[in-house]
Amino acid sequence: MLYELARPWLFRLDAERAHEEVSGLMALLAELPGAAAVAARMAGPSRPSLERVVFGLRFPNPVGLAAGFDKDGRLVPILPALGFGFLEIGSVTLEPQPGNPRPRLFRVPESRALINRLGFNSEGAAAVARRLASRPRPPIPLGINLGLNKGTAPEEAPQAYAGTFRILAAHGDYFVVNVSSPNTPGLRALQSVKNLAAILEAVQEANGMKKPVLVKLAPDLADEDFAAAIETAERLAQGLVVANTTIGREDVDAKWSVEAGGLSGAPLKARATELARKARAKTKLPIIGVGGIENAEDARERLAAGADLVQLYTGLVYGGPGTVRRILGGLP
């Protein structure tokens, strides 16, 4: 109810400014002594029927926060209070970088969508590692999404991803190699078999702790490229995240076609569900389904399509902090 009252004011602000206001307040709460313990109590006990064991980790429920909401891990102590079964922070880059110029985040309210061209704005791996080390581990699994600094040459990408992983390895329960953001020039070319294999080999060579490593794929890949990326992941990774934002503009007003960036939210729902189904037909690897999930029906549909877990971000923006609990209430 409080969010319904606050949302009109927040939606009058620039989308990124609104996110900063909300996350800033949450970050203040996260700094309070005992915040993690309070968050765990607020989340309450999980229904045993919702528990999952995926890539060797126990998830109290299958609904997680997608990367992008908490890029630098500032909100990890407080986010479990919203009912999430797991969190994914990032994308985190090896070196700090500011990302793309503002404005770079846009609401598409008539389609319950967002367009972002943030460009991996990140405090950098060392700063994020220090922050995570200074706080108690969250009571739910923590994933860390690995990005790539703008301007990193393709031949340098494997060691850049591996270097980021090394710095953060002790602090995450699983890791996601993000080669599918549309907002870093040349990044999506790293989904090709040769490039993706080199990146995963470098990360796994650094993976002495044997943490699960997943690959996040774009929804815009041709079918043969999608299948090839899955085959590469089967050899060198422990799971998939399907799918990232899209450069397509189907199901949104034509005026948004001139706004560069990745589209997320409701317009991506059908494509992301289709890709989860296609991925499940091709592999037994665990799949995290993301894209357009905003209610229990969406989550059930994605799980039925073959996802083992689901994530949301845009649905949280439009539905507010009660979204996760509403979804959980509608799951069997």
Q: What is the pLDDT of residues 69-114, one digit of tens each?
A: 999 999 999 999 999 999 999 999 999 999 999 999 999 999 999 9
Question: What residues contact 196, with CB distance under 8 A and at least 6 apart?
Answer: 179, 190, 215, 229, 232, 233
CA-nearest of 214, 90, 95 to 151 is 95
Structure confidence by residue, pLDDT tens digits, 24-50: 999 998 888 887 777 777 777 789 999
Which residue is catalytic, options 181, 192, 257, 264?
Answer: 181
Q: Which domain holds residue 72?
A: 2-329
The Cα 69–Cα 66 span in angstroms is 7
The Cα 95–Cα 312 span in angstroms is 27
Structure confidence by residue, pLDDT tens digits, 141-151: 999 999 999 99
For residues 85 and 138, is the Cβ–Cβ distance under 8 A? no
pTM score of the predicted model: 0.97
- HEC readout, 144-188: EEECCCCCCCHHHHHHHHHHHHHHHHHHCCEEEEECCCCCCCCHH
Confidence tier at 1 by pLDDT (50, 70, 90): low
For residues 203 and 174, is the Cβ–Cβ distance under 8 A? no
CA-nearest of 323, 330, 247, 264 to 7 is 323
Element (H, E) at 311: strand 309-312
Name the DSSP class of 136. P
Let me know if 181 is a catalytic residue. Answer: yes
For residues 217 and 289, is the Cβ–Cβ distance under 8 A? no
Rg of the chain (C-alpha set): 18
Structure tokens at 7: 């949302």
CATH number of the domain enclosing 30: 3.20.20.70
Q: Which residues of 214-245 are buried (b: 16+ CB within 10 A; e: fewer)?
A: bbbbbbbbeeebbbbbbebbeebbbbbbbbbb
Number of domains in the chain: 1
